[in-house]
Copies of this chain bind each other. A is one copy, B any other.
Amino acid sequence: MRSQQDSAAGLRHLITLEGLTRDSLSSLLDTAERYRRLPGQPAYEGRELAGVTVANLFFEPSTRTRASFDLASRRLGAHVLNLDLHSSSRAKGESMLDTIYTLEAMNTDVFVIRDSEAGMPEFLIDHVAPHVSVISAGEAHVSHPTQGLLDVLTIRTHKRRFSGLKVAIVGDIKHSRVARSTATALATLGTTDLRLVAPEALLPDEAEFKGAQRFTRIEEGIAGADVIVMLRIQKERMAQAASLDDAAYFREFGLTPQRLKLATGSVLVMHPGPMNRGVEIASEVADGPRSVIREQVNNGVAVRMAVLAAIAATLTRHRRPL
């Protein structure tokens, strides 16, 4: 894979958080904080992406993430193309490339791609022109870098530090791109105490999440936690892999007010959304005082603006002269 950074260490692509330094991550979070506006404040409006065209290529439907990238792009002044692409139109990587080359020829500068299969983001960064960038908005179970960034921004806002934090991730970790990207970001920023909590069948391979402790009982996994990241379960997979229906999953792994008492008093409850209330999380917890779930969404727009602005600054150096 080509580097995500150019020779001057400017961010060129973002398809994984692996390989990004602590300074790189911190710098993106600092920028995101400048762009962040709380609900009720007027949204940041800037011209950092003036003249830039962003194409959203979503092979997997996602109202939330698409809206978040769309607003982040437009509030910085970009033109956004939302393309209706169906799996069929990329039957072969070759036809996908023709689509990419066509959009490049229309002076598209940034591709935001979301795909339920693995491999397309890396394939694209190996093929796009020197003045074009690729951002992953979620790739199979592999990576969801902006989700990882928004998670650590949310944690940083409340905890101010990453070393010494106990973070538990609960749910179908084996298939979760959120878990992988968030764990990568936490490790880079200095968190060493990571706990993975899932039914045996949904814990990841031992080779992954190095150094993390593994639990099959939620009570043990979240004991003393400073942060709990609940994952959205996919009901079909749960039934198939772990023989659990909704009620049984909630009984064994659902985050209830009772269980939450096992964590620290200042615990943060996080969830990437959309939630299955009453399945992986009780509504009282989702809407309770320890929940920062809506802050995550708010931070999501901010980190996407930060990533887009960083990439646009890099692209400027790679432009052809007029």
A-side interface residues toward B, CB under 8 Å?
37-43, 45, 50-53, 63-64, 67-68, 70-71, 74-75, 79, 81, 83-85, 89, 94-95, 98-99, 101-107, 129-132, 273-275, 277, 283, 294-298, 300-301, 318-322
Q: Are A40 and B130 in contact (CB under 8 A)?
A: yes
Inter-chain contact B274/A41, CB cutoff 8 Å = no
Say yes or no: B81 contacts A71, CB within 8 Å.
yes
Instruction: Give chain B residues whose Cβ lies under 8 Å from the Cβ of A104.
Output: 39, 294
Contact B41 A101 (CB under 8 A): no
Copies in the complex: 3
Task: Give the contacting residue for A105; candidates B45, B101, B131, B297; CB below 8 A.
Answer: B297
| Most B Cβ at <10 Å: residue of A52, A67, A99, A301 | A67
Taking A98-B273, A274-B95 as contacts, is the C-beta distance between A43 and B51 under 8 angstroms?
Answer: yes
Distance A107 CA – B297 CA, assembled complex (angstroms): 10
User: Is A41 a contact partner of B106 (Cβ separation < 8 A)?
Assistant: no
Instruction: Tell me whether B39 and A274 are in contact (CB under 8 A).
Output: no
Task: Pick the most buried of A106, A296, A298: most chain B CB atoms within 10 A of its CB.
Answer: A106
Shortest Cβ distance from A285 into chain B, in angstroms?
Answer: 14
How far apart are A97's CB and chain B's nearest CB, in angstroms?
Answer: 10
Most buried by B among A130, A297, A319: A297
